[in-house]
């Protein structure tokens, strides 16, 4: 009996405490990153909050140039200093703690969700923009 308990404990320790593997699919990874870094302001459906946080649905920035989109994530609201008519009461903090891969994953996710359909990102494209900031 003891032997069985010992063996099952050993098996559980070996296989039961494995860290949850990262999803291999870029969109699944992007969704996890969105949920923990963006959802709190941009909401689960990407609609933001009127007058507080801009919407990501059919946003010209989400669908626009990759360079500007990476700058928005890495600089936050500072990416909009030269843009008129930005009247959001909330501020977006720079999220430059995210890795190139994480930024590529989350931007691919928002470009292909919330009714958007634009080409995705590779980490190297984020790296190039980050190097020039």
Helix (H, G, I), strand (E, B) or coil at 105: helix
Question: Residue 16 or residue 83: which is nearer to ligand HEC going by CB?
Answer: 83
Please give the Cα distance from 27 to 129 (Å, whole number): 21
In the complex, minimum distance from the CB of residue 131 to ligand HEC, in angstroms, rounded to a whole number:
19
CA nearest to 57, candidates 43, 67, 36: 43
Closest approach of Cβ 2 to ligand HEC, in Å? 51
Structure tokens of 31?
């969704």
Residues of this chain that bind ligand HEC (CB under 6 A): 37-38, 40-42, 53-54, 56, 59, 61-62, 69, 72-73, 77, 80, 86, 88, 90-93, 95, 106, 110
């Amino acid at each position: 009996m003891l032997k069985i308990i010992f063996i099952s404990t050993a098996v559980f320790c070996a296989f039961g405490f494995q860290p949850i593997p990262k999803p291999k699919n870029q969109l699944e990874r992007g969704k996890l990153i969105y949920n923990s870094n963006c959802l709190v302001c941009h909401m689960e459906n990407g609609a933001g909050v009127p007058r507080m946080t801009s919407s990501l649905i059919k946003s010209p920035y989400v669908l626009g140039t990759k360079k500007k989109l990476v700058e928005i994530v890495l600089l936050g609201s500072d990416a909009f200093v030269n843009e008129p008519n930005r009247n959001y009461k909330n501020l977006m903090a720079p999220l430059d703690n995210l890795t190139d891969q994480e930024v590529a994953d989350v931007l691919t996710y928002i470009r292909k969700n919330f009714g958007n359909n634009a080409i995705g990102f590779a980490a190297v494209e984020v790296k190039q923009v980050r190097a020039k900031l």
